[in-house]
Amino acid sequence: MFSLNLVAMTMWRVCNFVILTFLALAAAPSLAQYPDRPIKLIVPWPPGGASDVLARYVGAELGSILGQPVVVENKAGANGIVGTQAAARMPADGYSFLGVTAETHAINPAVYVPLPYDPLTDFDPLGMVAHVSLVLAVRADLAPNNMNELLDFARLHPGKLSAGSYGVGSTSHLGLATLEALTKTTYAHIPYLGVSPTVNALLAGQIDLAFVNAFNVEQFYKSGKIKILGVAGDARLPTIPAVPTMAEQGLAGLSAGNWYGFVAPHGVPDAIQRQLAAAIRQVAQSAGFREKANTLGMIVDYRDGPDFAKHMRAEGARLGQIAHDKSIELRR
């Protein structure tokens, strides 16, 4: 009798364990099945710009790797704040992630007070994929033809040259602030709502100069509608190899640019994070991505999640200091 009762109790415990395990697995999402539906990629910028074009390429490639469509949703506004804040509020389930730039995760914390998200604690970095050096473009009929001539003119006429930017706190604006600080020159800053209005103003002769992504002005440079005086980075750009860097013209340390990566809302399960991050790495290290980046004037610069987090902290300190020194701040 004792042995029969022991067997019955053991069988009851085993059955109970099996039932509870089944119920737990049924209630929890299966990581092995991820993804089983489309994934949303939020781009906090308008369609058509370099950030958007790059994100759409990455999204399409990720869709092929993961076996589910990656749907790009543009949520532009307030220097990337609108889309970034929306992404921070998304469920941390791996079905939404965000394309980020220097503005959203390094500049905005120093410029916009208060900022409705924390770039480091509200997101988990998946990987950085590329960076770009901005160029200094000037209207075609402006007299200076190189950086030294421009600086000579600016020193003779302080504040007379007008400099457009993508908006207060944009990488374009921080590039201008860096130029002013490094060369002890001043310009009349005119912020626009994005890159397209800035380039249009330059083409129309409404402003004298602007730091811009070469992708947005290369065709106008090649047709003679604008001039490009220098590249604010370590090397010449493959799409406009005749344009020298700032350092080649004696302006070492004049760096202005942007970088591009992807983050997920904080708290996505580790297994899903690893799967997304591995897929992003696969795209970033492909020949097709390198070719696409080159057409956008970008340099492939892959960094995994931990290295990307370290980079964001360093960039936040560097760009934040520039914003502080130039009193660039907007209270919301």
- Report the pLDDT value the prediction gives residue 138, as an integer from 0 to 100: 98
Region 129-136 average pLDDT: 96
> Do the Cβ atoms of 257 and 131 come closer than 8 Å?
yes
82 vs 295: CA distance, rounded Å: 28
Confidence (pTM): 0.84
- Report the pLDDT value the prediction gives residue 94, as an integer from 0 to 100: 97
Region 188-195 average pLDDT: 92
CATH architecture entry for 37-131+257-331: 3-Layer(aba) Sandwich (3.40)
pLDDT at 195 over 90: no
- Report the pLDDT value the prediction gives residue 295, as an integer from 0 to 100: 87
Region 141-155 average pLDDT: 97
- DSSP letters, 244-296, are PBTGGGT-TT---EEEEEEEEETT--HHHHHHHHHHHHHHHTSHHHHHHHHHT
CB atoms within 10 A of CB 249: 18
Region 100-109 average pLDDT: 96
Give every CB contact of residue 96 below 8 A, 6+ residues apart in sequence: 39, 40, 41, 42, 87, 90, 264, 265
In the chain, where are the structural domains located?
Answer: 37-131+257-331, 135-249
- Report the pLDDT value the prediction gives residue 61, as an integer from 0 to 100: 98
- Report the pLDDT value the prediction gives residue 13, as an integer from 0 to 100: 54
- Written as six digits, the tokens of 77 are 């506004």
> Do the Cβ atoms of 246 and 147 come closer than 8 Å?
yes
| Residue 41, SS3 per DSSP | strand
- Report the pLDDT value the prediction gives residue 46, as an integer from 0 to 100: 87
Confidence of residue 319 (pLDDT cuts 50, 70, 90): very high
Give every CB contact of residue 249 below 8 A, 6+ residues apart in sequence: 146, 147, 148, 230
> Do the Cβ atoms of 325 and 107 come closer than 8 Å?
no
- Report the pLDDT value the prediction gives residue 146, as an integer from 0 to 100: 97
53 vs 50: CA distance, rounded Å: 5
Confidence of residue 26 (pLDDT cuts 50, 70, 90): very low
Confidence of residue 8 (pLDDT cuts 50, 70, 90): very low
Sign of the Cα pseudo-torsion (253, 255, 259, 263, in order): positive
- Report the pLDDT value the prediction gives residue 7, as an integer from 0 to 100: 41
Measured between alpha carbons, how far is residue 72 from residues 53, 111, 152, 210, 332 in Å?
10, 27, 46, 29, 28
**What is the distance, to the nearest Å, from the Cα of residue 5 to the centroid of all Cα atoms in its chain?**
66
Nearest C-alpha neighbor of 220 from the set 228, 210, 231 = 228
- Looking at per-residue pLDDT, the higher value among 140 and 239 belongs to 140
Task: Please report, rounded to a whole number, the percentage of residues in the chain having pLDDT higher than 70.
Answer: 90
Residue 327 forms beta bridges with which residues?
A: none
Measured between alpha carbons, how far is residue 330 from residues 73, 115, 170, 323 in Å?
27, 10, 12, 11
- Looking at per-residue pLDDT, the higher value among 277 and 166 belongs to 277
CATH superfamily of 135-249: Periplasmic binding protein-like II (3.40.190.10)
Matching fold, domains 37-131+257-331 and 135-249: yes
Region 244-272 average pLDDT: 96
Measured between alpha carbons, how far is residue 23 from residues 9, 17, 19 in Å?
21, 10, 6
Task: Please report, rounded to a whole number, the percentage of residues in the chain having pLDDT higher than 90.
Answer: 81
- Report the pLDDT value the prediction gives residue 332, as an integer from 0 to 100: 72
9 vs 68: CA distance, rounded Å: 46
Q: DSSP code of 34?
A: -
Confidence of residue 9 (pLDDT cuts 50, 70, 90): very low
